[in-house]
């Protein structure tokens, strides 16, 4: 494969990540109308319909163990979506994503035997320490927002663990059915919070845009690019997610990060990229991030 093909695939991954985060920022713009619960419900429900039509999982029978793993996978997706949107409501998107990627990073570090990975763990911990609302800190972050982002990180880690099992039924089938299970969790919560506002035509229209930008479009882009990239290079490129999230939030919402917060983002990106480069195993695919998280 020539360098031009690799570069094109790399730019495709960056475009997919940017699409995800523009979708996240547009979703946050709906918070005043339907709240974070309503946005999570719209995103997962619409994405589930799109993915079901793409994968058509009803064409194959599932054994009970595989169905159970898909169910757990879907629970992780639903929890991840709700908690990351709750985090977005309270802290800047770029910082929430920086905390969230600690989940897949932890999965790699916990399964690694390389002493060099202690450096990446130290960088990740340092990044998180910079975001802790210490007494007397300038512009401290909402601790509840940090807790929700950490909860989303845990769900992302579980998503990876359960997703490996669920993917035995086929990646497309697992993602489509997993998103359907997730919507069964987010929809009741969203309807309870937003009521009839969730079906207003302008809300549904923007919800469709959010689902396309955050799920269907980046999912297809990443699947195509992953055919031409190694797992390590894919992991390094997707490590830029917090910076792209901060950029998207600035362009769409006008969110600005303080210098110390940018330092935390850079440290987390460095930890994630370094771990992707040194890990013997391919890093957890963030392809699931396309249709599932932000």
The least confident of 54-58, 61-65, 125-129 is 61-65
* Report for 171-185, 252-266, 267-281: range of highest mean pLDDT: 252-266
For the chain, what is the mean pLDDT? 81
Query: 17 pLDDT band (50/70/90 cuts)?
Result: confident
Q: Is there a contact between 185 and 75 (Cβ–Cβ < 8 Å)?
A: yes
- In sequence order, what are the residues at sequence separation of 6 or more whose Cβ sits closer than 8 angstroms to the Cβ of residue 136? none
Tell the residue number behind the tokens 């035509």, with chain if given. Answer: 201
**285, pLDDT greater than 60:** no
Alpha-carbon distance 245 to 88, whole Å?
11
Please give the residue range of the domain that contains residue 270: 3-289
Report yes or no on 73 lying in a domain: yes
- Dump pLDDT digits (tens) for 133-172: 766 566 678 899 999 999 999 998 888 888 777 777 666 7
Given this model, what pLDDT does residue 293 score? 45
Given this model, what pLDDT does residue 66 score? 76
Q: Is there a contact between 246 and 24 (Cβ–Cβ < 8 Å)?
A: no
- Dump pLDDT digits (tens) for 83-136: 999 999 999 999 999 999 888 888 777 776 677 777 878 888 888 888 877 665
Given this model, what pLDDT does residue 202 score? 93
Given this model, what pLDDT does residue 187 score? 94
Q: Residue 178's closest CA among 191, 193, 160, 152?
A: 160
Alpha-carbon distance 1 to 171, whole Å?
25
Report yes or no on 210 lying in a domain: yes
**267, pLDDT greater than 80:** yes
Given this model, what pLDDT does residue 289 score? 39
What are the φ and ψ backbone dihedral angles of 201, each rounded to 5 degrees? -50, -45
Report yes or no on 240 lying in a domain: yes
The least confident of 13-17, 191-195, 233-237 is 233-237
- Dump pLDDT digits (tens) for 212-243: 888 777 766 766 666 666 666 666 777 778 88
Pinpoint the alpha helices (H) of the chain: 3-29, 31-55, 64-90, 93-100, 102-110, 117-131, 143-166, 171-194, 201-211, 217-226, 231-238, 241-253, 259-278
Q: CA torsion sign, 69 to 75 to 76 to 81?
A: positive
Q: Residue 101's closest CA among 243, 235, 272?
A: 272
Pull the structure tokens for residue 217: 């479009």
Give the residue-averaged pLDDT of 1-23.
Answer: 78
Using alpha carbons only, give the angle 112, 116, 130 rounded to the nearest 5 degrees: 95
Alpha-carbon distance 201 to 80, whole Å?
26
Alpha-carbon distance 281 to 190, whole Å?
38
Report yes or no on 94 lying in a domain: yes
Neighbours of 61 (CB within 10 A): 8
- Structure-model confidence comparison of residues 191 and 239, the more confident one: 191
Report yes or no on 294 lying in a domain: no
- DSSP-derived letter for residue 290 is T
Given this model, what pLDDT does residue 10 score? 75
Q: In angstroms, what CA-CA distances link 205 with 120, 211, 218, 281?
A: 42, 10, 19, 41
Give me the number of domains the chain comprises. 1
Q: How far is CA 208 from the centre of its chain?
A: 18
């Amino acid at each position: 494969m020539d360098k031009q093909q690799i570069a094109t695939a790399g730019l495709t991954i960056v475009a997919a990540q940017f699409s995800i985060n523009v979708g996240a920022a547009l979703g946050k713009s709906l918070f005043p109308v339907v709240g974070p619960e309503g946005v999570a419900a719209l995103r997962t429900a619409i994405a589930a319909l799109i993915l079901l039509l793409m994968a058509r999982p009803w064409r194959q029978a599932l054994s009970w163990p595989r169905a159970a793993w898909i169910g757990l996978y879907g629970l992780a997706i639903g929890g991840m979506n709700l908690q990351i949107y709750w985090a977005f409501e309270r802290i800047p998107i770029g910082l929430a994503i920086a905390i969230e990627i600690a989940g897949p990073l932890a999965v790699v570090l916990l399964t690694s035997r390389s002493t060099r990975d202690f450096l990446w763990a130290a960088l990740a911990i340092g990044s998180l320490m910079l975001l802790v609302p210490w007494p007397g800190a300038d512009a401290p972050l909402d601790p509840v927002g940090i807790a929700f982002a950490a909860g989303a990180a845990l769900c992302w880690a579980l998503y990876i663990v359960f997703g490996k099992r669920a993917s035995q039924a086929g990646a497309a089938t697992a993602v489509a059915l997993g998103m359907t299970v997730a919507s069964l969790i987010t929809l009741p919560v969203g309807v309870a919070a937003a009521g009839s506002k969730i079906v207003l035509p302008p809300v549904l229209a923007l919800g469709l845009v959010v689902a396309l930008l955050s799920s269907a479009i980046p999912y297809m882009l990443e699947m195509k690019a992953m055919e031409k990239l190694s797992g390590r290079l894919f992991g390094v490129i997707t490590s830029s997610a917090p910076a792209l999230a901060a950029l998207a939030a600035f362009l769409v919402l006008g969110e600005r990060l303080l210098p110390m917060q940018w330092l935390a983002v850079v440290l987390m990106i460095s930890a994630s990229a370094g771990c992707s480069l040194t890990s013997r195993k391919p890093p957890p695919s963030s392809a699931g991030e396309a249709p599932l998280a932000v």
